[in-house]
Amino acid sequence: MDAITISHFQKSFGSKSILKDVTFSVPQGSIFGFAGENGVGKTTTMKMILGLLKSDHGQIIINGQQVRYGHSVTNRFIGYLPDVPAFYPYMTARQYLQLTAAVSGMASSQVDRQVTSVLKLVQLKDDRTKISGYSRGMKQRLGMAVAMLNQPDILICDEPTSALDPLGRKAFLDILASLSGKTTVIFSSHILSDIERVCDRVAILHDGRIQVLGKISTLTQNHAKRSFQIEFVDSTDLERFLIQTDLPKESDKQTRTMLTIQEQPGQSIGDDLLADLSKARIVPKRFQRFEPSLEDVFLEAIK
């Protein structure tokens, strides 16, 4: 079952068409990456899902109910983490979460248990540290705690890792990954390697349309090329290897000692390359296989 279905969505600002025809579904329990370069329309799409922007055409269904502009009925299923969440800096994390719980109408008997639970989820210490003393990464994790406070079915994170350092990013992504199977997550980002790290599925928006959609493992297996790189001890070995082997046509002599060979999807040339090296009695300095990344899939798709 799909948690979110977006059908033929269109949105223009003035004469500028941002979303030309956007269609995709987010299966329940998946960690779904929503990718695309800066300014492509990711935040616009998120705002549409939250019913904060009016579409020109198309519809969005969340848990079987249609999203209506200005009506937040479907928002009861959603927790939202903006790219830069704002807090009262003079409060502690617990005080801020207690306030948020009260404002959202949570029964007072549940507040302490829920606050403790989300602080544990995002690995923030339940101590007297004021939010003003938090690092960016800690603030982002507190933002996730706020978004998860009411145990939403769906968590939407808009570019949550863009401003974080590598350690802060890793901590955040690990927590996101831990939600897999329990909460449906839409993780919007222009950093494809972050998406590849935690998401099981992806939709990549480019030029107003979804250009890549599906399971990341299937996409990288089927749509992009694997390559091999062989580094030879010297140029003589490389020349001897070229005489020995019947390389695919797009093989490319990069340097005088390095060779990169691209494999076609469905092909498997690793064994042949090793056999040719053996026949020519060449021991290379390095033999390396490069698996296609999500970035390769994307670049292939927009070629």
By CB under 6 A, name the binding residues for ligand ATP. 13, 18, 36, 38-44, 159, 190
Q: Between 147 and 273, name the residue whose CB sits nearer to ligand ATP.
A: 147
- Taking the CA atoms of residue 183, residue 189, residue 193 and residue 197 in that order, the dihedral angle to the nearest 10 degrees is -10
What is the closest distance, in whole angstroms, from the C-beta atom of residue 216 to ligand ATP in the complex? 20
What is the closest distance, in whole angstroms, from the C-beta atom of residue 83 to ligand ATP in the complex? 7
DSSP letters of 257-300? SEEEEEPPTT---HHHHHHHHHHTT---SEEEEEPPPHHHHHHH
Q: Between 130 and 190, name the residue whose CB sits nearer to ligand ATP.
A: 190
What is the closest distance, in whole angstroms, from the C-beta atom of residue 18 to ligand ATP in the complex? 5
Helix (H) or strand (E) holding 177: helix 166-178
Q: What angle (nearest 5°) sits at the alpha carbon of residue 144, between those of residues 72 and 160?
A: 95
Sign of the Cα pseudo-torsion (175, 180, 181, 184, in order):
positive
Alpha carbons 216 and 203: distance in angstroms, whole number: 9
What is the closest distance, in whole angstroms, from the C-beta atom of residue 38 to ligand ATP in the complex? 4
Q: Between 20 and 253, name the residue whose CB sits nearer to ligand ATP.
A: 20
What is the closest distance, in whole angstroms, from the C-beta atom of residue 28 to ligand ATP in the complex? 25
Q: Between 13 and 88, name the residue whose CB sits nearer to ligand ATP.
A: 13
Q: Between 55 and 245, name the residue whose CB sits nearer to ligand ATP.
A: 55
Please report how many Cα atoms fall inside a 13 Å half-sphere around the Cα of residue 57, on the Cβ side: 10
